[in-house]
A and B are shown apart, each in its own frame.
Chain A
């Protein structure tokens, strides 16, 4: 199993480490629910170095990126960040990513489980352009501060405090962090809270981790991927392998806003997705609240009128809402916000009602 540059910190802190997409990652340090509550009310520190970090360089990098990604990269200004899909020619999803506009490159953060496949796909697609795909995953560490106290706590370690404070959501800046110059700081995250993601040289990782925790005092604690998954689901954010896959297109996933059919945007999968758009998606992703104490899980059947009509993508107990939540694909006609379903929880039928996504939205 691969180890991130923070691995020794997780071992020292007694984190529970599991295999996640080939990486030895902390799923939790103490309680997943406590860590989730911490991020909703205070601040948590996450190691995200398993995620893939990629630079697309070269004169034609924008044109190449607009072929690879569904969102409109030509419109991206330096310092802007956009969520995007990578689709195949069938219009289904190879990965979901964040694309960062930089002065001399397009910077992309991809899912750990898809990094190798994404790199191969991107390298194939840039062949017709003056562009190169450079894998920075091994040389950069990546961590995140997530939670309402993130700005206050990170400011203690950043020289450019005013720029940090005025940095907008989904924007990127470069700053001096704990003595490291030119660190990428993005106001992004996967929890539905305010927060920042930092990218810096891997040899600094342990020092930065310990210094951030020391400066945060009791307001900051390391959190594991278990809480991150619960938080992202509460916030209605898709997870590749659950809400997204090569069996699913972005329009049925409700991600129309990240797919741009502009005239100068010939992305892979466009023709297929234009057909889906014209006909309307056959099924839609919905949010469900399950009755009772049992948690719906990925793959459980969703029933209506005695027939299987869909399947659960993700489920969790939500500490924020004190309810058992699930996402599921159901036929478009039933995705009306009203229709109720039954979820087959290992042979027991549990009633589930629709609720708008996201389940949770922070007060801003």
Chain B
């Protein structure tokens, strides 16, 4: 079972409440599917307004490249710039060290609409 202190999207992002902002990352399942990670290109900038589904980063592995999306509407309040230099902490620890951006949600209800850990488990099991 994955951590139930946060919510998930079917596209394998997670979002965790940290005060009035959400930390956003990708799941261990996404990391495993990508294989050896080589580079994280964080496209989002601090202060940028994003909509749910907007591209916030691209992640590269030896075999492929994948898009990472904003889980909801909001404003970017921080980016994990060191991961752009060295993506390894994300690969080692996607739920703890792997946060990619922090975002102040535009509405309070958006977080609750995401999948809880049990529902995400079913997505991954398919």
Residues of A within 8 A of B (CB): 16, 27-28, 31-33, 226, 230, 293-295, 297, 316-317, 346
The chain A residue with its CB closest to the CB of B41 is: A294
Q: Are A316 and B62 in contact (CB under 8 A)?
A: yes
State whether A28 and B35 are in contact (beta carbons under 8 Å apart), knowing that A297-B65, A317-B62 are contacts in the complex: yes
Q: What 9 A-B pairs have minimum CB-CB distances, sorted nearest first? A: A293-B39, A32-B62, A33-B36, A32-B36, A317-B38, A31-B36, A317-B62, A295-B60, A32-B35
Q: Let me know if B63 is at the binding interface, CB within 8 A.
A: yes
Residues 1-50 of B at the A interface (beta carbon under 8 Å): 32, 35-36, 38-39, 41
Give chain B's interface residues, CB within 8 Å of chain A. 32, 35-36, 38-39, 41, 58, 60, 62-65
- A/B interface sample: 14 pairs, CB < 8 A: A16-B35, A27-B35, A28-B35, A32-B62, A33-B36, A226-B35, A226-B63, A293-B39, A294-B39, A295-B60, A295-B62, A316-B62, A317-B36, A346-B58
User: In the complex, what distance in Å separates the CA atom of A151 from the CA atom of B36?
Assistant: 29
Among B32, B60, B63: residue with most chain A CB under 10 A: B63
Tell me the complex Cα distance, A32–B60, Å. 14
Closest to A230 in B: B62
Cβ–Cβ contact A33 & B62, under 8 A: yes
CB < 8 Å: which of B32, B60, B63 contacts A294?
Answer: B60
Chain A proximity of B36: nearest CB distance (Å): 5
Which of B36, B39, B60 gathers most chain A CB within 10 Å?
B36
> B38 is contacted by which of A16, A295, A346 (Cβ under 8 Å)?
A295
Choose among A230, A295, A297 the residue with the greatest number of B CB atoms under 10 Å from its CB: A295
Min CB–CB distance A326 → chain B (angstroms): 13
Min C-beta distance of A290 to chain B, whole Å: 12
Among A28, A31, A293, which residue has the most Cβ atoms of chain B within 10 A?
A293
